[in-house]
Amino acid sequence: MRRAASLAVAVLGALSGCSLSPRYQRPSVPAAPDSYKEAGEWKLATPADATARGRWWTMYQDRELDELERQATDANQSLRAALARLDQARAQTRMARAAWFPTLTAQANATRSQTSLNSPTYTPGKPPIGNVFTAGADVSYELDVFGRVRNTLAGARASEQASAGDVAALDLSVRAELASDYFTLRGLDIEQQLLDHTVTEYARALQLTQNLYHGGAAAIADVQQAQAQLESARTQAEETRLRRAQTEHAIAVLVGRQPADFSIAARSGGGDLPVPEVAPGLPSELLERRPDVAAAERRVAAANAGIGVARAAYFPVFSLLGTAGVESTTASNWIGAPSRFWSVGPQALMTLFDGGLHAAQSAAAHAAYDEQVANYRGTVLTAFQDVEDNLAALRQLQRESVSQAAAVTATQGALDQANLRYKGGLVTYLEVVSSENAALAAHLTAVDISIRRTNATVLLVKALGGDWQRR
pLDDT recorded at residue 11: 47
The residues with which 142 forms a beta bridge, in sequence order, are 319
Query: What percentage of the chain has pLDDT greater than the value 70?
Result: 86
Q: Range with the lowest mean pLDDT among 330-339, 406-415, 419-428, 436-445?
A: 419-428
pTM, rounded to two decimals:
0.80
pLDDT recorded at residue 157: 93
pLDDT recorded at residue 178: 95
272 three-class SS = coil
188 has pLDDT over 90: yes
Q: Range with the lowest mean pLDDT among 115-124, 156-165, 323-332?
A: 115-124
Q: How many distinct helices (H) and strands (E) make up the chain?
A: 9, 4
- Return d(Cα 373, Cα 381) in angstroms, integer: 13
- Return d(Cα 19, Cα 33) in angstroms, integer: 37
Classify burial at 409, counting beta carbons within 10 Å of its beta carbon; exposed 0-12, middle 13-18, buried 19 or more. Answer: exposed
Confidence of residue 52 (pLDDT cuts 50, 70, 90): very low
Render pLDDT for 137-176 as a digit per residue (tens, 0 to 9): 999 998 888 888 888 898 999 999 999 989 988 999 999 9
pLDDT recorded at residue 315: 87
Confidence of residue 269 (pLDDT cuts 50, 70, 90): confident
65 has pLDDT over 90: yes
pLDDT recorded at residue 416: 85
pLDDT recorded at residue 263: 93
Q: What are phi and psi of 144, to 5 degrees?
A: -80, 65
pLDDT recorded at residue 469: 55
CB atoms within 10 A of CB 382: 14
pLDDT recorded at residue 7: 46
Residue 466's nearest CA partner among 29, 57, 40 is 57
Render pLDDT for 275-297 as a digit per residue (tens, 0 to 9): 887 666 667 667 777 889 889 99
Task: Give Cα 179 to chain centroid, integer Å.
Answer: 16
Q: What are phi and psi of 313, to 5 degrees?
A: -65, -20
pLDDT recorded at residue 282: 63
- Return d(Cα 268, Cα 103) in angstroms, integer: 69
Classify burial at 445, counting beta carbons within 10 Å of its beta carbon; exposed 0-12, middle 13-18, buried 19 or more. Answer: middle
pLDDT recorded at residue 364: 93
- Return d(Cα 468, Cα 471) in angstroms, integer: 9
Comparing 128 with 400, which gets the higher pLDDT?
Answer: 400
